[in-house]
Amino acid sequence: MDIADDDRIKHRQIHFRDLHPERNDARTAAEFLDGVDGVLHTDAVTPLRLDLTYDLTLTCLEEIEEALDELGLHLDNSMVYRIRRALHYYTEDTFRENCGCKQGESNCTRRVFAKRYQTLQHGCRDHRPEHWRRYL
């Protein structure tokens, strides 16, 4: 099925809450999403607003925002943004179902985020083989 780029490529804005004045959640989210399959462009316009372009056949706004929430970033949950978000979730989910792009397939963004998290350097990892860990 051939899908037009206007229907497939989505341009969205993600707004964050200003809980901490020194935080720059939009830049953090842009750096995190740059290497993700399906995300075509990210731009931190302000510290609290991220402009995002992504391919709907590979990922959707709901998956992206869930990953940002798991990352510890605080999305703006005022009434206007919740209604807008629900409308985007519904239309994108309907479009993906009609195109046959179901969640949980090989192009699922959760696997990309999990793989990216595993490759990040952080102190929560013991690099010794499993059989060496049991002897200590």
Domain extents in the chain: 5-121
- For 95-111, the pLDDT digits (tens) are 888 887 766 554 455 55
Pick the CATH number of 5-121 from 1.10.10.10, 3.40.630.10, 3.30.70.100, 1.20.1080.10: 3.30.70.100
pLDDT in tens, 5-29: 777 899 999 999 988 767 888 999 9
DSSP line for 90-122: HHHHHHHHHHT--TTSTT-HHHHHHHHHHHS--
Q: Enter the DSSP assignment of 71.
A: T
pTM of the predicted model as reported, rounded to 2 decimal places: 0.71
